Amino acid sequence: MLWLMGKSLDLSRRAVRRPLMVPLRSLFGSHGRKFRFDPWGRYSYPNIHVGDYVSLGYRPILLAARSEIWIGNRVMFGPQVVIVGGNHNIAVPGQFMCDVYEKADNDDLDVTIEDDVWVGARAVILRGVRIGRGSVIGAGSVVTKSVPPYAIVAGNPARVVRFRWDVDTILRHEDALYPPEERYTREQLQKWQTAGAMLPLVKKAPITGIGAAASPPRVTPVVS
């Protein structure tokens, strides 16, 4: 009996999800084609820019009141992913933290997720992080630094576990999917794979124009 009630509730939610998405979709800063999201998630709508073929999964929380969240093309989220583009100022003596309204430098930084990224269930991505193209974020990870392209990261704080492929395979993969001007070089890929480490936070906004149109261009690749 309880199973039937749960199934009925799930079907009811699915029935109203699409009609709710239509008016809410226009609240986002920009979005591309085939953009799917859970209407019952939490979003800083005007500060979120999304590319083509993106699914934000079940009940995500994407908050960036004084910064922006940029999501490229063909990105998948698992359930209950959290992205936070801001931080509290905890460096003011003589005041309770909840009474401090002034922001310190770099308290609010953009979050960028490049193309072809899979973010696992209940992962948390914090301000200033840039997720490189083709990478995978393990379920439950807390991402405090930027992720190199094609890396698989996991843990709290998240660390590089391995890369999806070797350099030669990534180059063949990129040749099949991206125009020459957007492909990584062998030297870039070798540098990231040799280091096997996370990258620094990005303390400036993405290149102007990303997400400005109805169908945003690809997010510019990480260069570090």
The span from the CA of 111 to the CA of 146, in Å, is 9
Could you tell me the strand order of the sheet in which 61-63 lies? 42-43, 61-63, 82-84, 124-125, 142-143
Q: Which residue shows structure tokens 């960036």? A: 64
The span from the CA of 184 to the CA of 19, in Å, is 40
Handedness of CA 152, 158, 161, 167 (dihedral sign): positive
Bridge partners for 136 per DSSP: 118, 152
Q: Three-state DSSP class for 103? A: coil
CA 206 to each of CA 10, 12, 110, 144: distance values in angstroms, whole numbers, following the listed order: 38, 39, 8, 18
Catalytic residue list: 88
Crossing angle of helices 167-177 and 186-195, rounded to 10°:
140
